[in-house]
Amino acid sequence: MCEGAGVRRSLSALAVAVLALPTLAAAPVAVIAIDPTPVGPEFRTDQALGAGIDGMTRGGVEELFTPHNIAWMRKAGLRPITYRLRTELAIEAWHWGNEGVWSDGAHAQGYWTSSDDPRTPVDLTWGYRLPRRGDTIDQANNDGFSRLDDGDGATFWKSNPYLDRHYTGEADEGPQWVVLSLDAPAAIDAARIAWAAPYARRFEVQYWRGVDEYDPDGDWVTFPHGRIEDGRGGQGVLRLADRPIRARFLRILLEESSRTAPPGAADPRDAMGYAIAEVGFGALRADGGLGDVVRHGAGPKLQTIATVSSTDPWHRAVDRDPGLEQPGFDRLFRSGITNGLPVMIPLGALYDTPENAAAELRFLKRRGYPFTQVELGEEPDGQNIDAEDFARLYRQFAAVAHAVDPGLETGGPSLQDGISDVWLAPGADRSWTHRFVKALDARGRLGDLRFFTFERYPYDQLCGAIDAKLRRQTRGLADIFRRLKADGVPPTIPWIVSEYGFSAFGGAAEDDLPGALVNADIAAGTLSLGGHGAFLFGYNPNRPWQHGDACVGNGELMILEADADGQARWPLPTFHGARMLTGDWAGQGGRMLAAHSPLAAADGGAAVAAYALRRGDGSVAVLLLNRDPATSHAVRLAFGGVAPRGPVQVVQYGPAQYRWAPGGVGGHPARDLPPARFTLRNGGEILRLPAWSLTVARFASP
């Protein structure tokens, strides 16, 4: 990547040389030194700087897709679109089309395949809850629950049949597992497992021995009597140890399936994998019963947290979730929101079938909608699926995509963070990414990874010093690129930030000037590090609300604040920042140049970040982000050691243009002006950067 030691050394030397020039070094004016040597790949703005369209709550699609909203969103200049799949985060199957067939049509259940030639437009689609779900927590509305400890013996969790060797083609298909996370360590010497079909013939019951779930020296240890070689299904209390062992995290490792199906089952997938109806753990009582410490209940707050390795996408028509909508492809492409450009299209690899994915791609081809990149997966690391298992699914979905069109570029997996280490994983290799890449490569299928995607939401906690958080973002993004390289992600394929934003949680800073600063820093920083693109999340108009701690205030990821009817009314700082980024800074695109800002904070981070590029029209544009909340800075520009001679066009946005008027959900901008525009006679003039401001300076290349 472009952050090599040689580039850093040349920049440092250049900065020293520039500071020695009498025409530029008058203190306290700082010099922004730009190296004229291009770094990183050339990019086109209509491919590299875009936004995401995601699933929504009930009524959200109709509210969003109005001519008024779309016109406002397009004004931001973020032209390419990536379609995000919220159903994956909700552990739901996605009916991308509403006409289709069930594998068990007589009962409107089983595995769904949408029609690739529907009679009616596909304007609105839904997610379908999975009745064989094993996870307590999901990353969407979090209103589902696990069937492992829901207290209902008639329900059950079942693993994904597409991980069976029948589909993977592997003799050793790898184990499946379930993990229960008790509220606190407890004395455990017994378990009750109520098996469904298929059950495990061979399995191990284990506990985590470690300081906590992230202990690098932690390990799963099988209970003294916890290895079972001749499982026969049914249910009963299993003695695990002669003396109780205190543990908090408990795992059932499933190693050999009975390959039996429930009575009356006709689909071969019913006999693939493993199924468990209910699980309990605790200490044996004197009467031989189990003192169960697992909480059982039909709700995420009522049950002990369960996590599973995979989930069967089997579902029923009655499982439709009306609270999770996805915009239909016909509405998406015909609305104008895509700007007529190719869209990055998702396939629901975690909770869908390859057959439905193939039909989706055939539908898009039949309609003639433009797309070339097909993204497989949505935060599989966040769903706690093993990297090796996801690689098995990835290969199957990539194969059907290339069967539809060999020219399609398959990629993913849209990691929930660029650095993704495995939870409760023993061994030296805790990197989810490295394990995924290694698993593809071991099967000779690394070529199916034609682009790599990850998400960037730097802050889980929005309380505290925001300026320090902004500076840490810059360093953190560079750390991600270094880590991905070390993890073996091929450097020859595009690396794309498929979603980015201030935080996955809401807060007032997102809708104020810091939001614009961090979003511009992520987008420009991605390109400066050699990335090929970044897609902003929070494209649609929205309203601020209280997500959590009172210290964060009301806020939301959004570029436009909506009125009570969901219609765009107030452009927010990120909206203006996006226009500056795409229009004033990037233009049609170009190649990045290394830039150095000597303005540092006490913590060592850059108080002012600088990103430069040579645009396709030959001019040089510099993006300057002053992350100091209270201090303005005076700078001069130097290009190759000398000040630009001609005029410098300046666009600037900061406190003079924007001020937020707090008011809870009724908060709105009290001052909401467009960026200021002015001209410096030449690059030797002082350019003042207000506190909390974004500035673009553009001049003709010498």
The half-sphere exposure of 447 on its side-chain side, counting CA atoms within 13 A, is 6
Fold of 44-97+111-126+317-586: TIM Barrel (3.20.20)
Q: Which two tokens stand for residue 155?
A: 């329900």
- DSSP secondary-structure letter at 422? P
CB 648 within 8 A of CB 697: yes
State residue 12's pLDDT score: 39
State residue 663's pLDDT score: 64
Q: Measured on CA atoms in the order 451, 452, 454, 456, is the torsion positive or negative?
A: negative
Under the banding of pLDDT at 50, 70 and 90, the label for residue 665 is low
Is the model more confident about 406 or about 8?
406
Q: ∠ at Cα 355 (352, 357), nearest 5°? A: 60
State residue 504's pLDDT score: 87
Task: Please tell me whether the overall predicted TM-score, pTM, comes out greater than 0.75 for this model.
Answer: yes
Fold of 157-312: Jelly Rolls (2.60.120)
CB 648 within 8 A of CB 698: yes
The Cα-based distances of 207 to 140, 222, 364, 432 in angstroms read 29, 7, 47, 22
Q: Which two tokens stand for residue 383?
A: 């769903």
Distance CA 466, CA 483 (A): 25
State residue 3's pLDDT score: 33
CB 557 within 8 A of CB 502: yes
The residue-averaged pLDDT of 92-105 equals 98
Q: H helices of 90-216, where?
A: 165-168
State residue 492's pLDDT score: 96
- Is omega for the bond preceding 544 within 30 degrees of 0, making it cis? no
Residues 485-496 pLDDT 10s: 999 999 999 999
Q: Measured on CA atoms in the order 10, 16, 20, 24, is the torsion positive or negative?
A: positive
> Which one-letter amino acid corresponds to residue 474?
T
Under the banding of pLDDT at 50, 70 and 90, the label for residue 22 is very low
State residue 9's pLDDT score: 35
The half-sphere exposure of 158 on its side-chain side, counting CA atoms within 13 A, is 28
Q: Measured on CA atoms in the order 214, 218, 222, 223, is the torsion positive or negative?
A: negative
Distance CA 669, CA 484 (A): 39
CB 51 within 8 A of CB 81: yes
State residue 19's pLDDT score: 36
Under the banding of pLDDT at 50, 70 and 90, the label for residue 545 is confident
Under the banding of pLDDT at 50, 70 and 90, the label for residue 660 is confident
State residue 221's pLDDT score: 97
Residues 619-656 pLDDT 10s: 999 999 999 999 999 999 999 999 999 999 999 999 99
Placement of tokens 């990335």 in the chain: 531
Tell me if domain 5-40+591-700 and domain 157-312 are identical in fold.
Answer: no
Q: What are phi and psi of 675, to 5 degrees?
A: -60, 150
Distance CA 299, CA 497 (A): 34
Residues 491-537 pLDDT 10s: 999 999 999 999 988 888 899 999 999 999 999 999 999 999 999 99
State residue 551's pLDDT score: 79
Domain extent listing, the chain: 5-40+591-700, 44-97+111-126+317-586, 157-312
Q: Which of 43-57, 375-389, 421-435 has the lowest mean pLDDT?
A: 421-435
Q: Which of 212-216, 461-465, 584-588, 690-694 has the lowest mean pLDDT?
A: 461-465
CATH superfamily of 5-40+591-700: Golgi alpha-mannosidase II (2.60.40.1180)
Q: H helices of 385-487, where?
A: 387-404, 432-442, 466-486
Distance CA 251, CA 255 (A): 12
The Cα-based distances of 62 to 125, 331, 448, 452, 569 in angstroms read 12, 10, 36, 32, 17
Q: Which two tokens stand for residue 475?
A: 């360093």
Tally of CB atoms within 10 A around 545 = 12
The Cα-based distances of 273 to 126, 220, 269 in angstroms read 27, 22, 8
Report helix, strand or coil for 405.
coil
Q: Which of 19-28, 113-122, 261-270, 447-456 has the lowest mean pLDDT?
A: 19-28
Tally of CB atoms within 10 A around 15 = 21
Is the model more confident about 604 or about 320?
320
Residues 547-582 pLDDT 10s: 767 778 888 999 999 999 999 999 999 999 999 999
Question: Across the strands, what pairs with 265?
Answer: none
Q: Which of 285-289, 331-335, 662-666 has the lowest mean pLDDT?
A: 662-666
Residues 355-396 pLDDT 10s: 999 999 999 999 999 999 999 999 999 988 999 999 999 999
Q: Which two tokens stand for residue 225?
A: 């009597």
Tell me the pLDDT of the chain averaged across its residues. Answer: 93
Q: What percent of the chain has pLDDT over 90?
A: 85
Residues 7-17 pLDDT 10s: 333 333 333 33
